[in-house]
Amino acid sequence: MKILVLDEEFPFPSDTGKRIRSYNLFRRLAKKHEIHYLAYGEMDSIPFITFKESGLNPVAVPNMVPEKSGPLFYLRLAANLFSKLPYIVTSHYSKPFRDEMIRLIEQVAPDMILCEWTPYAEYVRDIKNIPKVVVAHNVESRIWRRYHETEKNPAKKWYIARQVTKLEKYEKDVFGMCNGVTAVSQSDACEIAGLCPHARVSVVENGVDLDYFNHRSLTVDKDSMVFVGTMDWRPNQDAVTYFVREIFPLILEKRPSAHAVFVGRKPPEFIRAYNDIEGIQIIGSVEDIRPYVHAAAVYIVPLRIGGGTRLKILDAMAMHKPIVSTVVGAEGLEVTDGENILLADSAESFAERVISLLQDRELQAKLAQNGRALVEAKYGWDSLADKLDRFLQEVVQNR
C-alpha cells in the first residue's frame, strides 16, 4: 500500500511526545508499505536524512509555520478573529505545501492520505477519490477548553474562548469528512464520537521503547523528583509553574531537603527564572533524558491541561520509576491509583503523595514493578504499529 503522510515536520529527534509516536510507528509501517512523508523542513537537515535512511521517502517544503512570538505573532492572532478556521489551522496552511501535495498525488498515486495532525486535514478537504485518515494526537478543542479554564487574564480568556468554539466546529467537520480517525486513548475516542457520532474511530495507544527505556542500577537521590516535558508547550509550562509555586513549598515544609529537576527543550525565560529558587533546577534540551530519570526517586506529572496520553509516564514506568501524577496527567492510560501510580489533583494532596512516596521505599518498589509490568503488557511499539496497520488497511478496503 502507498501511503502519503502530511505532517508539520519530520518528527526527529525523538524529544517530544508527538515525535516519539510518529517516528516509531512510521518506521515500522515502512517495512510493509511505501511511505511518502511530506512535511515542512529542509533537505539537508538531520531529520530529513534520518527519514530517508529509514525508508520513509521524505519530501520537504521550506518551513512557513510562523514563530509564536514577536509583534507579527500577535498581529496574526488578531487577524484570525476574522477567520472561520482556528489559529492552529491557518498558521500551518500554505499554498506551497498544498501544491507539493497535489504533485505527489499525481506522481505517486497513493492508496491513502494520512494527516498526522488534525490541522493538516485542511489540505485534503477537496480530495475526493483517495481514502483519508486523520491522526488525533489530542482532541484539540478539549486542550483549549482547559486553557480557558486555567487562564486568569480576562483578555486572553476571551480570545481562547473564541478558539474553543472554532476548534469544536472544525474537529466535528474534519472527523466526519475523513474516512477514518485514530485516537490515542479510549477517552479521546469517546470525545471524538461526541463531536461527530458517525466518525469511524480506532484507538491506537501511545507506546514506549521497552529496550531503550529500561532499568539501570544507578545511584538514586532519595530526595529528588524529576519532570520531563517539552518546555515550549503551554500545558507543560503550566505544570512546571503549578508545581513550583503551589506544590513545592508544601513539600519543603515536611521535607526541607527535597529538590526537583525539570528537563525539556526550549524553556522560555519565565521558566528558566525558576532556577533562582533553591531546590529547583531547570534544564533545557538534553541528548538523553534517561540519566536524569534514573537519578530521581520520584517522577512527577503535575499536568492540569492536556489530552491524549502522556508518553512521559510510559517512559518512566518502563524505567521502573514510581510516579505521582494528576488525573489529567495520566488521562487515557490504563493505570490504577495505588497499584502502579499515585494520583492527586489538589496541590495539598499532590504534595502529600510525593512526601509519602519519598519516605516509603516499599511503596516505591511496588509502583515501579507494577508500572513496568503494565507497559510490557500493553504499550510496546511493535504491537501498536500492527494495530495501526490493520486499521489503515480496513479503511482502504471499506471506503
Parse the chain into domains and list their residue ranges: 2-207+380-397, 221-378
CATH number of 2-207+380-397: 3.40.50.2000
Mean pLDDT of 158-181: 97
The pTM of the full predicted model, rounded to 2 decimals, is 0.81
> What is the enclosing helix (H) or strand (E) of 2?
strand 2-7
* Selection from 140-154, 305-319, 352-366 with the highest mean pLDDT: 352-366
Mean pLDDT of 31-53: 97
DSSP SS3 for 40 = strand
Same fold yes or no, 2-207+380-397 and 221-378? yes
Least Cα distance to 183 among 132, 140, 154, 130 occurs for: 140
Least confident of 60-69, 144-153, 205-214: 60-69
Spatial CB neighbours of 17, under 8 Å, sequence gap ≥ 6: 137, 206, 230, 308, 310, 311, 312
Give tens-digit pLDDT for 82-138.
999 999 999 999 999 999 999 999 999 999 999 999 999 999 999 999 999 999 999
Asked if 310 contacts 329 with a C-beta cutoff of 8 angstroms, the reply is yes
State what percent of residues in the chain have pLDDT above 70: 99
Confidence of residue 64 (pLDDT cuts 50, 70, 90): confident
CATH superfamily of 221-378: Glycogen Phosphorylase B; (3.40.50.2000)
Asked if 364 contacts 297 with a C-beta cutoff of 8 angstroms, the reply is yes
pLDDT at 150: 87
Spatial CB neighbours of 294, under 8 Å, sequence gap ≥ 6: 216, 218, 220, 319
What cell was used for 86?
Answer: 482556528
pLDDT at 338: 97
309: pLDDT strictly greater than 90: no
pLDDT at 71: 86
72: pLDDT strictly greater than 90: no
Mean pLDDT of 49-69: 91
357: pLDDT strictly greater than 90: yes
310: pLDDT strictly greater than 80: no
308: pLDDT strictly greater than 60: no
What cell was used for 223?
Answer: 530526595
pLDDT at 307: 60
Give tens-digit pLDDT for 204-239.
999 999 999 987 767 899 999 999 999 988 899 999
Calculate ∠ Cα 15-21-25, nearest 5°: 130
